Amino acid sequence: MLRLLEVNNLALLDNLSFYPGAGLNVITGETGAGKSLLVGALELLLGGRAGAESVRTGSDCALLQAVFDAHLPAASEEDEEVFCSAGNDSRVVLGRELRIGGPNLCRVNGKVLSLAQLAAVTQKLIDLHGQHQQQSLLSRAVQRRLLDSYGGPQLSACLGELSGLYREYSEVQRQLHDPGGDAGLERKADFLRYQSAEIASAQLSVSEEEALEKRFKKLSQVQRLRERTAKVYDALLESASGTAVIERLGETARELAAAVLLDEELAGVKIRLDGALQELLLAARTLRDYYQSLEHDEVLLQQTVDRLDVYKKMKKKYGPTVDDVLITGQQIEAELQLSDGRQEKIAEYRQRCQLLEQRLRQTAGLLSEQRREAAVGLEKEIEAALRSLALHGARLQISVHSTETFGPNGQDRVEFLFSANSGEPLKPLAKTASGGEITRVMLAVKSVLAVQDSVPTLIFDEIDAGIGGLTVRAVAEKLRLLSRHRQVICVTHQPLLAAAADHHFLIFKQEEDGRTVTRLTKLNDTDREGELARMLGGDVQHQAALEHAREMLNTARGVSS
């Protein structure tokens, strides 16, 4: 259920908040007050296209947000990634930001999604029906889903079995045809063998790479190492100026030895000084040996560079690290083993594919029979509902035509055929019904399928267009019945519909700080009487008009109670 809609800086909607309740919600107001803007904001959340001109003048962006108290419905396999990213808690928060100088941003529960992914989520939460849009009922896929919903558990189980078979069939087909035939399979195996041999012959290891890098660093810096170690050695032991550290420390040790003869308490200091002298002598000898071992070995340096180039090439091709190269080699070897054994499975796949296709056709045939049987009952109930909505001569037929090809939903092409008047031929609903007729057909369908339908919020934009009198009363009663199962939001100019509402909202324009803005407020009983009096064409201050409005409210409450 829609709990909150917030719209900021969308045309005249600078800062509008809409809190619809359960049951039937109506929105009324003068022509041009902004009802179409509010519906347009909902269309944008449903994935509708919008340009920079939609943003309020003086603003950089428009922000739309909606909060639903609802679990996201179970997604199809195609939508699984979208729904998993959106989460599955009891609150769904949708957001869309329209920027003048940049891309639009769409979010579901804080996660940025594409516009198509936003539409995939919102179509599970809102069904919007208006006079000037391509409505979902015109889609044959939607018509098929409506028929399947009416078919009940038996049809649903058959459809589930078929969908499972089709997934398995598709996977076997993919395994069978993906390599591109036997020649393609052999080419792929040859390439895998080449890659495996290349990685194996390189004989890479993390420890060797580290040792090579250290050796290269040393061999490429031999001259600098000789210079620096010679300087340190001279400073320790062979300074020509007589300032060698060890020589001076030896003199100091001899002075300290003489002092120990005078006072034995200095013996400990002498021991430490002697130890330091020995460590320095050892360090000097080590430096000397290291210096003498340094040689500029051009051959070894080139061998090291060549070996490091092998590592660099393999990491660039299979890396980015040696560990990654080795893991890739293991994966290639495993794939090669599968590829080598795959040719033996080709015949098995073909046999499995034939068996699955046979089962698919049997199950699809059973599903077609169940759909045709369900179509008869659904046709009768929809036609009865249409008569109650003042479409007395209307006929509706549900065509279930089986094709040669099948998919995850069977092999049927389901289409609603409609005639609004007696004696007129049945034609596809999308090609024959007017906007008002389509809306009433949708209302009839929704009232019949109110329990089975999973979309929690239904929005009707001016469902009363082009009707009056008893027809309006029938539509109002139908909306009230529908709102017992779903949240219904209706934009209307008809006082009879407004009187039937559980929650009545007024949309209006006013001037603030020299600019026109649109505001929305929920009406109490007294305010509703005034608004109904206005809608009836009377003077809102006239007692007779108010009495008429009060009578309409009382009558509506009596009908709905």
For position 465, what pLDDT does the model report?
66
**CA–CA separation, 387 vs 444, rounded Å?**
9
- Stronger pLDDT, 86 or 272, i.e. the higher one: 272
Beta-bridge partner residues of 491: 27, 461
For position 185, what pLDDT does the model report?
65
Tell me: pLDDT of 529 over 70. Answer: yes
For position 343, what pLDDT does the model report?
62
For position 167, what pLDDT does the model report?
93
Domain for residue 504, yes or no? Answer: yes
Q: What is the mean pLDDT of residues 279-303?
A: 87
Range of lowest pLDDT (158-172, 233-247, 298-312): 233-247
Tell me: pLDDT of 183 over 60. Answer: no
- Stronger pLDDT, 365 or 11, i.e. the higher one: 365
The pairing of strands 13-18 and 2-10 is: antiparallel
Residue 348: which pLDDT band, with cuts at 50, 70 and 90? confident
Residue percentage of the chain with pLDDT more than 90: 25
Looking at the chain, the number of H-run helices and the number of E-run strands are: 18, 15
Domain for residue 8, yes or no? Answer: yes
Domain for residue 162, yes or no? Answer: no
Tell me: pLDDT of 76 over 60. Answer: no
For position 242, what pLDDT does the model report?
64
Tell me: pLDDT of 438 over 90. Answer: no
Domain hosting residue 117, numbered range? 1-125+455-522
- Stronger pLDDT, 367 or 33, i.e. the higher one: 367
For position 482, what pLDDT does the model report?
86
Residues 6+ apart with CB under 8 A from 393: 419, 420, 421, 422
Task: Kindly calculate the radius of gyration of the chain based on its CA atoms and give it in whole angstroms.
Answer: 41
For position 163, what pLDDT does the model report?
93
Tell me: pLDDT of 457 over 70. Answer: yes
Tell me: pLDDT of 132 over 50. Answer: no
Q: Which of 180-184, 187-191, 290-294, 485-489 has the highest mean pLDDT?
A: 485-489
Domain for residue 489, yes or no? Answer: yes
Note the pLDDT tens digit of each residue in 400-411.
999 988 899 999
Residue 560: which pLDDT band, with cuts at 50, 70 and 90? very low
Domain for residue 342, yes or no? Answer: no
**CA–CA separation, 92 vs 89, rounded Å?**
7
Domain for residue 352, yes or no? Answer: no
Residues 6+ apart with CB under 8 A from 366: 158
Q: What is the dihedral of CA 425, 426, 431, 433, to 10 degrees?
A: 90
Q: What is the mean pLDDT of residues 384-398?
A: 86
- Stronger pLDDT, 134 or 128, i.e. the higher one: 128
Residue 390: which pLDDT band, with cuts at 50, 70 and 90? confident
CATH number at residue 488: 3.40.50.300
Residues 6+ apart with CB under 8 A from 55: 9, 10, 61, 62, 98, 99, 100
Beta-bridge partner residues of 413: 401
For position 417, what pLDDT does the model report?
92
Q: Supply the mean pLDDT for the chain.
A: 84
Domain for residue 279, yes or no? Answer: no
Q: What is the mean pLDDT of residues 267-291?
A: 89
Q: What is the mean pLDDT of residues 196-204?
A: 90
Q: What is the mean pLDDT of residues 210-219?
A: 88
Q: What is the mean pLDDT of residues 506-533?
A: 89
Tell me: pLDDT of 240 over 70. Answer: no
Nearest to 45 by CA among 17, 5, 88, 75: 5
- Stronger pLDDT, 311 or 473, i.e. the higher one: 311
Q: What is the mean pLDDT of residues 6-13?
A: 88
Note the pLDDT tens digit of each residue in 85-106.
445 557 889 999 988 877 888 8
538 phi and psi angles, rounded to 5 deg = -95, 175
Nearest to 18 by CA among 538, 462, 457, 545: 457
Domain for residue 557, yes or no? Answer: no
Q: What is the mean pLDDT of residues 314-326?
A: 89
Nearest to 84 by CA among 111, 116, 50: 111
Note the pLDDT tens digit of each residue in 141-171.
888 988 998 998 999 999 999 999 999 999 8
Q: What is the mean pLDDT of residues 466-485?
A: 80
**CA–CA separation, 144 vs 147, rounded Å?**
5
What is the maximum alpha-carbon separation in the chain?
137
Tell me: pLDDT of 172 over 90. Answer: no
Distances (CA, A) of 519 to 14, 187, 428, 492, 514: 9, 68, 41, 17, 15
Number of domains in the chain: 1
